[in-house]
Structure 1
Amino acid sequence: MTDLSNSFFADGPVQLPAGGPLYLQLKRWIEDAIHRGAINPGDALPSERDLATRVDVSRVTVRKAVLHLVKEGVLVQRHGSGTFVAPLTQRVEQSLSQLTSFTEDMARRGMAVHAEWLDRGLYAPSPEETVILGLSSDDLVARIARLRLTGDTPLAIERASLSARTLPDPEAIGDSLYTHLDKTGNRPTRAIQRIRAANLAEEDALLLEVPVGSAGLNIERTSYLASGRVIEFTRSIYRGDTYDFVAELRIGEAPTIGGKTP
């Protein structure tokens, strides 16, 4: 952690930038301290009381400035730990033209990833799962939910549903669902994905360690075997500040009429 006496308050008496309400002046001063390296990504911000005393403002002013910086993603608050400068995040590009697992996709980029299990078990299917996966009234559905991380940075939440006939033991999955399905001859060969922008609700924002209402990407993937049977239905939520989805587009060949190009 940064030594506050030698860095954050190193310039002697604090001179807030002029102009605007006091909390905005303090906000700009904190942003400047981060930009000039007085406090670094991952470092803890001084306590609310310490900031108020050293800058000679009220704690209400400090709280308002900090909340604005949290909403903008400059700071992050961790329950029971304090307020920290948000870590720098590496943006990840994912191709929309290849059907790969999260683990495989990150491995190609040389990024080590791991998962925290949120849920895995067998359940009675929802009406939506019954229709999409082609289940009967007596069938069970295997659900797995994971938080995917690189290092300490959460990137995505994945919630997948498969027929229990395909995945009778969700506990048997290792690092990659697709690797497990490959071993049983059930790896999908194609998929349809739908992507839409969304503001993250409280539960997902807490898991992804971003402010509530932050930009995210909701992705629904329906995956198929070569036979055309649906094998997997997955809903994923990606952090908007870490992911770019990239697609290559090509102009199709001109149509022909009677064997001739019009």
Structure 2
Amino acid sequence: MFSFEGFRLNRSSPAYFQLKNWISQAIRSGKSHPGMTLPSEREIAEELDISRVTVRKALDGLVADGLVVRRHGSGTFVAGPPQRVAQSLSRLYSFSEDMRARGREPGTAWIYRESGPADAEEARRLRIAPGDPVARLHRLRFADGEPIALEWTVSPSRFLPDPQAVGVSFYEALRARGHSPVRAFQNITAVTIGGEWARLLEVEDGHAALDIHRVAELGDGTLVEWSHSIFRGDAYDFVVDLSFPD
């Protein structure tokens, strides 16, 4: 647990600023380590005999500086440098397969898995008729317990009749039914995120991210997937292997 031993307020500057600087120096000097838990706002306020408003303002500044992170329902922790992931755009990967290949453990937190009639946008993206049955998947993806991406996936129900059958990997579920995607088209846009998306990915509002739309098709050209993903910009890179023509 993070220690506040030796912290003393003076009249030189606002209390929140002194607290922020003291925690910042403790982190930068190596007296704390990434992942170390900070006491709650209430505990810090009581220990230092200052207001919770002062504590919250100091912690807000540290979060903005990237020195601490808040994890919903867990607390506030000393931040460590994110382990970036670089994925080649020359091959079609599933997130889970890619993480395993790197020696990292993929994880999933399901937000929903459901079936229903395709709306106009889903029908257009998948080249099916509005109202045709589709499976919808929405999940938060992790690498070694760190939230990396939000994903929304839609697939015609004839390829995925039971969305609950999808475990860690959507592509593994497709292959188990004999439907292996062979080609995909991806559009990547740089964006900033906030609100619920930022909260789920454990970043601050205005954080840089990659907004990705992908459609994947079978060998006969039938579209089997439309997905929309939001990847944290500080944790994921896409690379392209280019060659000169002969």
TM-score with structure 2 setting the length = 0.87
Q: 2:107·2:145 contact (CA, 8 Å) conserved in 1?
A: no
Residue 229 of structure 2 is aligned to residue 229 of structure 1: no
- Which stretches in structure 2 are left out of the alignment for 5+ residues? none
2:162 corresponds in structure 1 to 169
User: How far is 1:197 from its partner?
Assistant: 1.5
Cα displacement string for residues 49-95 of structure 1 (whole angstroms, at most 9, x for unaligned residues): 66567778665443322112212332222455542222442111111
From 66, 85, 88, the equivalent of 1:92 is 85
Tell me the C-alpha RMSD between the 2 structures.
2.5
Task: Give the 3 Å change call, closer, same or farther, for CA 138–14 of structure 1 in structure 2.
Answer: closer
Q: CA deviation at 1:183?
A: 2.5
In the TM superposition, residue 102 of structure 1 has moved relative to its aligned partner by 0.6
- The letter for the 2-side match of 1:103 is S
How many residues get paired? 245
Q: Which has the higher strand share?
A: 2
- Distance apart, 1:119 and its partner CA: 0.9
Q: Is the 8 A contact 1:14 1:54 kept in 2?
A: no
- Return the offset for 1:48: 4.0
Match for 1:102 among 74, 82, 95? Answer: 95
Q: Is the 8 A contact 1:90 1:242 kept in 2?
A: yes
For residues 229 and 23 of structure 1, the distance between their equivalents in structure 2, rounded to whole angstroms, comes to 59
Q: Deviations along 1:190-211, whole A, 9 cap, x unmatched?
A: 1111111122231111211122
User: Residues 56 and 105 from structure 1, CA distance in 2 versus in 1: closer, same or farther, beyond 3 angstroms?
Assistant: same
Residue in structure 2 matched with residue 244 of structure 1 by the alignment:
237
Per-residue deviation at 1:188?
Answer: 1.2
For 1:61 and 1:138, the matched residues in 2 are separated by 54
The answer to whether the Cα contact below 8 Å between 2:215 and 2:226 also exists between their aligned partners in 1 is yes
Ranges in structure 1 where 5+ consecutive residues have no aligned partner: 254-262
Alpha-carbon separation, structure 2, partners of 1:214 and 1:220: 19
| Equivalent-residue separation in structure 2 for 1:80 and 1:189 (angstroms) | 40
CA separation in 2, counterparts of 1:203 and 1:50? 27
Q: Out of 121-130 and 39-48, give the one that drifted further.
A: 39-48
Partner-residue secondary structure (3-state), 1:98: coil
Matched, 1:204 2:197: yes
SS at match of 2:98: helix
Amino acid at match of 2:202: E
- Secondary structure of the residue aligned to 2:199 is helix
